[in-house]
């Protein structure tokens, strides 16, 4: 029979019940086994287990019935400190701020503690001006949610080239938040890494997700607590009547949006002049609320009122200009102040200054403009919008700088020489030449910024 002398009534053991410690009530022989009876310390549930000798030996006595004061005091202090940190958020409403090396500014604290944390489900567009410190706000938010135990599995999606900076400079140095960087090669080496339990925060570039199908599938098969998308304006989708066009990046985030409780978009340029694109971005945050423009309009007005703001309009760029509501927040540089109320950024003054071109510049300007005008007239007559676009680009480069127009003219010359070689190539048929010359530009024009659209 197994030796039971090391266990007596009143001992506290681990290993008898998976989730809790048990106080032993009785240990008695039970055939070849030993019957151990006890009470769970947390649940106060009565537990009765017949244990084989090896199972009995695997029980760990956490505390004997008799107390001694001969334990390691440093371990006790360590345990007490760990417990203090674990529950600190209950006593310090600004816990993440207190435990970070970063000293946040008033508008950063306001965004996190006034707008984001009170939301039961964060589906939000944080659209503050450039330089507002949106990454600091997200660091604070993540730290606060992690310490409360609200989130565990986090995916941070950044533009290509910013992943390392985000991991090392912004999360580790400022907030002591450790994350795992995922790129194409590291994903191929370990395709199941999103499921790892020992790590909870992953950083991946939007293009890895958009172009690596298996990586996107693996991310979409994981249930996330928080997904954060940096530079969210790059998720573009357009509506043309009943037709819709979605970019690869947009489609990637669309497939992840339902796989997370909290979804946070960051951008300094949320509205680029297209109502449909803006609404499509919001649609990723909430597919019910943002289905129709009029619903959005009503909802935004209603929510803005809660924050003491005048009714916001959903026309042109209005919904995002200085917006404060439950769905998005935008503060401009002019509104941001330090803790003493001093403006963080100097005022911006715009004025137009005229100047005279030198005679050499004027000569070049006139020559290029004459070329552009004559060709533009011809392009208009032939109804060729592609060439009109080419010429507009050239005129813009001309007024930009000498270097810019020289480079554009060089590129145009090389391109025309290529076209000539193609046209004079005897091995190609006329039909093939025409096909090669006719490059559709519409998708390219759509891909450009509004200022490039002509």
Does the protein bind other proteins through residue 45 (CB under 8 A)?
A: no
Q: Which residue has 């066009």 as its token pair?
A: 245
Q: How is 253-286 classified by DSSP, letter by letter? A: HHHHHTTEEEEEEE-S----S-HHHHHHHHHHH-
Pairing of strands 243-246, 20-30: unpaired
Tell me the closest approach of the beta carbon of residue 416 to other proteins, in angstroms.
4
d(CA 214, CA 191) in angstroms, rounded, equals 8
Among 88, 148, 305, 415, binds other proteins (CB under 8 A): 415
- Could you give the maximum distance between any two Cα atoms of the chain, in Å? 111
What's the chain's length in residues? Answer: 454
Does the protein bind other proteins through residue 367 (CB under 8 A)?
A: yes
Q: How is 115-134 classified by DSSP, letter by letter? A: IITT-SS-EEEE-PPTTS-H
Structure tokens at 402: 């000498």
Q: Would you say 259 or 375 has its CB closer to other proteins?
A: 375
d(CA 411, CA 431) in angstroms, rounded, equals 26
Helical (H) or strand (E) element with 187: helix 184-189
Does the protein bind other proteins through residue 268 (CB under 8 A)?
A: no
Which of 69, 122, 125, 116 lies closest to 282 in space, CA to CA?
125
- Span 107-136, contacts to other proteins by CB under 8 A: none
Does the protein bind other proteins through residue 412 (CB under 8 A)?
A: yes
Does the protein bind other proteins through residue 78 (CB under 8 A)?
A: no
Q: Would you say 88 or 357 has its CB closer to other proteins?
A: 357
Does the protein bind other proteins through residue 416 (CB under 8 A)?
A: yes
Stretch that binds other proteins, among 129-137, 147-155, 270-278, 419-427 (CB under 8 A): 419-427
Does the protein bind other proteins through residue 431 (CB under 8 A)?
A: no
Among 26, 382, 432, 453, binds other proteins (CB under 8 A): 382
Which of 44, 53, 46, 73 lies closest to 7 in space, CA to CA?
53
Among 258, 302, 401, 453, binds other proteins (CB under 8 A): 401
φ, ψ at 279 (rounded to 5°): -65, -35
Does the protein bind other proteins through residue 90 (CB under 8 A)?
A: no
Among 19, 353, 427, 431, binds other proteins (CB under 8 A): 353
Does the protein bind other proteins through residue 377 (CB under 8 A)?
A: no
Q: Would you say 25 or 236 has its CB closer to other proteins?
A: 236
Q: Would you say 5 or 449 has its CB closer to other proteins?
A: 449
Q: Cβ distance 209 to 141 under 8 Å?
A: no
Tell me the closest approach of the beta carbon of residue 230 to other proteins, in angstroms.
15
Tell me the closest approach of the beta carbon of residue 259 to other proteins, in angstroms.
29
Which of 95, 141, 117 lies closest to 156 in space, CA to CA?
141
Angle at 66 between CA 64 and CA 71, to 5 degrees: 70
Among 48, 65, 434, 453, binds other proteins (CB under 8 A): 434
Q: Would you say 78 or 447 has its CB closer to other proteins?
A: 447
Q: Cβ distance 230 to 166 under 8 Å?
A: yes
Q: Would you say 164 or 258 has its CB closer to other proteins?
A: 164
Tell me the closest approach of the beta carbon of residue 384 to other proteins, in angstroms.
6
Does the protein bind other proteins through residue 439 (CB under 8 A)?
A: yes
Q: Would you say 214 or 418 has its CB closer to other proteins?
A: 418
Catalogue the E-assigned strands of 138-178. 154-158
Does the protein bind other proteins through residue 418 (CB under 8 A)?
A: yes
Q: How is 194-235 classified by DSSP, letter by letter? A: GG-SS--EEEEEHHHHHH-HHHHHHHHTSPEEEEEESSGGG-
Does the protein bind other proteins through residue 386 (CB under 8 A)?
A: yes
Does the protein bind other proteins through residue 85 (CB under 8 A)?
A: no
Q: Cβ distance 267 to 236 under 8 Å?
A: no
Tell me the closest approach of the beta carbon of residue 382 to other proteins, in angstroms.
6
Applying CB under 8 A, the residues found at the interface with other proteins are 353, 355-358, 360-361, 363-364, 367-368, 371, 375, 378-379, 382, 384, 386-387, 389-390, 393, 401-403, 405-406, 408-413, 415-420, 423-424, 433-434, 437, 439, 441, 444, 447-449, 452
């Amino acid at each position: 029979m197994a030796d039971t002398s090391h266990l007596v009534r009143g001992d506290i053991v681990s290993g008898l019940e998976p989730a809790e410690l048990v106080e032993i009530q009785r240990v008695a022989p039970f055939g070849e086994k030993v019957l151990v009876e006890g009470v769970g310390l947390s649940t106060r549930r009565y537990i009765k287990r017949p244990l084989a000798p090896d199972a009995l030996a695997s029980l760990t006595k956490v505390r004997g019935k008799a107390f001694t004061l001969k334990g390691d005091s440093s371990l006790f202090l360590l345990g007490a400190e760990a417990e203090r940190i674990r529950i600190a958020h209950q006593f310090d409403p600004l816990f993440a701020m207190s435990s970070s090396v970063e000293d946040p500014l008033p508008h950063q604290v306001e965004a996190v503690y006034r707008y984001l944390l009170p939301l039961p489900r964060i589906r939000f567009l944080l659209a503050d001006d450039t330089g507002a410190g949106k990454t600091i706000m997200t660091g604070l938010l993540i730290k606060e949610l992690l310490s409360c135990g609200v989130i565990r599995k986090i995916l941070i999606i950044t533009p290509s080239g910013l992943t390392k900076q985000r991991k090392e400079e912004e999360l580790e140095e400022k907030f002591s938040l450790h994350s795992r960087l995922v790129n194409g090669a590291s994903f191929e080496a370990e395709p199941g890494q999103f499921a790892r339990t020992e790590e909870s925060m992953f950083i991946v570039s939007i293009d890895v997700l958009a172009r690596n199908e298996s990586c996107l599938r693996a991310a979409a098969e994981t249930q996330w607590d928080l997904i954060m998308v940096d530079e969210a304006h790059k998720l573009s989708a357009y509506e043309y009547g009943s037709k819709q066009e979605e970019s690869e990046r947009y489609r990637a985030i669309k497939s992840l949006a339902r796989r997370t409780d909290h979804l946070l978009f960051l951008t300094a340029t949320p509205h680029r002049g297209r109502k449909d694109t803006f609404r499509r971005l919001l649609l990723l945050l909430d597919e019910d609320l943002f289905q129709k423009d009029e619903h959005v309009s009503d909802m935004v007005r209603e929510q803005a009122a809660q924050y003491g703001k005048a009714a916001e309009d959903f026309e042109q760029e209005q919904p995002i200009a200085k917006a404060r509501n439950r769905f998005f927040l935008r503060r401009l540089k002019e509104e941001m102040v330090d803790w003493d109320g001093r403006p963080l950024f100097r005022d911006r003054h715009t004025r137009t200054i005229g100047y005279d071109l030198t005679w050499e510049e004027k000569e070049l300007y006139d020559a290029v403009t004459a070329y552009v005008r004559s060709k533009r007239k011809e392009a208009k007559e032939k109804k060729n919008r592609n060439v009109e676009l080419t010429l507009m680009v050239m005129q813009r480069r001309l007024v930009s700088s000498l270097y810019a127009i020289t480079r554009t003219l060089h590129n145009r010359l090389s391109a025309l020489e290529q076209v000539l070689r193609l046209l004079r190539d005897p091995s190609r048929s006329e039909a093939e030449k025409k096909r090669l010359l006719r490059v559709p530009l519409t998708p390219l024009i759509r891909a450009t910024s509004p200022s490039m659209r002509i």
